């Protein structure tokens, strides 16, 4: 009896092991292949395609800049921009509102800012009045001041990129640019705001830039762009070390931008404003 029972248990154990092995083998054969990861450039393509499906966007942006004068630290200047930008693609219209602060060690001044880009005209709020100016190239792309999608397109063309391991719902890309590639990312508005001459652009050296991009890995929409640009300027034997930082966050979709009728009807010609420079959209 004991011998028969022992043989029965041995057979049962053998059948159990065989069925287990059979299950594992079937599971391996039927398991799906692991999906290949996309390259950084392919991810940008997918993000651009996804964002094109949106009529327009609302961006919340912050910009902090530092200009250091090693030979005269009393001239050190900080510039801070905060703005909400509403952008539609077709037609390409913009409404941006926010404030700019220019500060030195002794003086700080904050100025409210608001403007519209509508078809072939720009409307700018200066000295408590609205002014209007014709655009020289209404089909030109809007730069970093209002639309970070421009940054994404430029990255694809000229940046060295790498992808960081996804965390949560985000995919992160990091890009590095140097030399001539950086030139178009430099915010010329602030150079004008701190009274640095425009021709300084040909005396800028040591340009380098890093960009961090966050993309939603489910729908490939752009979530956030962070960028930092560093360069050194030389003027009249004086050295100026500059750092410009931007952060753009997507806050929603925009379907249409309309300019209020009273602004459209009462805006003064921009040519009548002295000592003020228009944001360089084109």
Q: In what order do the strands lie in the sheet with 160-167?
A: 160-167, 170-178, 204-216, 222-235, 238-253, 56-68, 77-88, 93-103, 108-118, 121-126, 129-134, 268-269
Distance, CA of 48 to CA of 89 (rounded, Å): 13
pLDDT at 145: 57
pLDDT at 227: 92
Domains of the chain by start residue, with CATH: 40-272 (2.50.20)
Distance, CA of 191 to CA of 260 (rounded, Å): 31
Number of Cβ within 10 Å of residue 217's Cβ equals 17
Of residues 254, 273, 267, 275, the one with CA closest to residue 121: 267
Q: What is the DSSP string of the chain?
A: -HHHHHHHHHHHHHHHHHHHHHHHHHHHHHSPPPPPPPPHHHHHHHHHHHHHTSSEEEEEEEEEEEEE-TT-GGG-EEEEEEEEEEEETTTTEEEEEEEEEEE-SS-EEEEEEEEEEETTEEEEEETTEEEEEE-S-TTSPP-TTT-THHHHHHHHHH-EEEEEEEETTEEEEEEEEEGGGGGGGS-HHHHHHTT--GGGGGGEEEEEEEEEEEEETTT--EEEEEEEEEEEEEETTEEEEEEEEEEEEEEEE-------HHHHHHPEEGGG--S-------
Could you list the pLDDT tens digit for every one of the 282 residues in the chain?
Answer: 444 444 444 444 334 333 333 322 223 333 322 224 788 888 899 999 999 999 999 999 999 999 998 888 888 999 998 999 998 888 888 999 999 898 988 889 898 989 898 878 889 998 889 999 887 654 444 554 567 888 888 877 766 777 766 667 788 888 888 888 888 888 877 676 665 655 555 578 888 999 999 999 889 999 999 999 999 988 777 888 999 999 999 999 999 999 999 998 999 988 745 444 444 433
Of residues 87, 63, 79, 66, the one with CA closest to residue 227: 63
């Amino acid at each position: 009896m004991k011998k028969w029972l022992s043989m029965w248990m041995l057979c049962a154990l053998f059948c159990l092991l065989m069925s287990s092995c059979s299950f594992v083998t079937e599971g391996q054969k039927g398991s799906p292949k692991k999906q290949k990861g996309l390259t950084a450039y392919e991810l940008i393509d997918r993000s651009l395609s996804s964002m094109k499906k949106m009529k327009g966007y609302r961006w919340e942006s912050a910009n902090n800049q530092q200009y250091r004068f090693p030979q005269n630290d009393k001239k050190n200047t900080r510039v801070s921009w905060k703005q909400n930008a509403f952008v539609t693609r077709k037609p390409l219209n913009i409404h941006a509102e926010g404030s700019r602060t220019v500060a030195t060690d002794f003086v700080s001044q904050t100025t409210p800012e608001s403007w519209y880009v509508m078809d072939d005209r720009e409307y700018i709020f200066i000295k408590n009045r609205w002014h209007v100016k014709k655009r020289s190239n209404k089909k030109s792309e809007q730069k970093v001041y209002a639309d970070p999608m421009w940054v994404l397109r430029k990255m694809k063309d000229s940046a060295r990129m790498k992808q960081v391991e996804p965390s949560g719902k985000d995919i992160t890309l990091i890009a590095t640019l140097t030399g001539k590639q950086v030139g178009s990312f430099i915010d010329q508005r602030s150079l004008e705001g701190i009274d640095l001459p425009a021709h300084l652009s040909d005396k800028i050296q040591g340009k380098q830039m890093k960009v961090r991009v966050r993309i939603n890995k489910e729908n490939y929409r752009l979530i956030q762009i962070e960028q930092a640009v560093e360069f050194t300027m030389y003027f009249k034997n004086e050295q100026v070390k500059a750092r410009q930082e931007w952060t753009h966050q997507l806050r929603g979709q925009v379907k249409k931008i309309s300019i209020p009728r009273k602004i459209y009807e009462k805006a003064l010609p921009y040519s009548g404003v002295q000592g003020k420079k228009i944001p360089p959209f084109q």
